[in-house]
Structure 1
């Protein structure tokens, strides 16, 4: 039986905030600083391949192979530019280091217009909040510069947890921090498998943020699918009783 809601766990990227400009645009801007002129479309395509390959070869930031989030991202950046015919080791290293730091800055992230209202609304209901995110250790700084960090009692990132969604172990770490049964916890995220299915399989009250209405015909209860975070506050109060 479902208990009274006490905690809300949040995914972050593409749930509360998103990258402000395309990866291709941001990488090309960095390339211009070192005198290179590249096509954003070409860089975007190269990034997708580099990211996919690195994720397959070194899952969850390569922690099991002795890497960390910083080294992993530098590999992705260097591989991306190498696919665009940039082979100078000094340039590749400089751009990789700069881009890793650049993505800590607020100007590279856009908080969704409904995020702060939803977080404030949850707080006003007396709910405590945490983060469960497949992200590296930069997340705390990013949330801070974006003005969101103070809403959360704790953060669990896949880099620091040593395990990534959809592995339920990352949610288990979060539930330990909550100190209440899964039935007293909700989770909000944008990924159908990583966020919605995995959390609900554990007995957590999962909600799927579906801003582009991509999941209208899948097996999601209408009350569990949110086209906007504004809808969350309509759904949560009844769960308090």
Structure 2
């Protein structure tokens, strides 16, 4: 099981390539202001997938930031990347069209597979795990079991395998990410956020703050239902 650093890899790459081609250290506008502009642009796009609809909006953002860019030989890429993820996180909560689509992508981060074949595969892997004693083999099998359990929507079982993976390696970011996903799917949003926060503390470079925004959106949506 490998963690995707973000749900819209193509869009983030587009942002970074566009901005870093023209900009050094950027005098950044407010996150709320940019997310509102991006939302209006996104909602105006009528066709294509999320990357296709984001691309023209990112080009507008590129031009806007270029106006205030202070060209330097060494761009402040860390600050810029952090700002962009903060904008996207704000959009998850404030831009309904964008947030709804990204939430759907998060729900299907582990594509559903409730087939008998998948359950049989889980049982076979569990037998293999019980016969394994080496740490490396144990970790590999636990990763597979977590993924397949999440796909089978066997969240309690998946959480048990996550707990075992944490015992084998307390710094295994994937275990906390998967636990957060399972708790979110179960509607246990505080527990979900806690797991993602732990993952962030272990690996800040993955910028998983956007998953916290998605969990908060799920919680707000569930609370608004009659």
Report the TM-score when normalising by structure 1: 0.27
User: Hey, which of these two has a bigger chunk of helix by percent?
Assistant: 2
User: Hey, which of these two has a bigger chunk of strand by percent?
Assistant: 1
Report the TM-score when normalising by structure 2: 0.29
The structure, 1 or 2, with the larger RCO (C-alpha pairs under 8 Å, 6+ apart) is 1
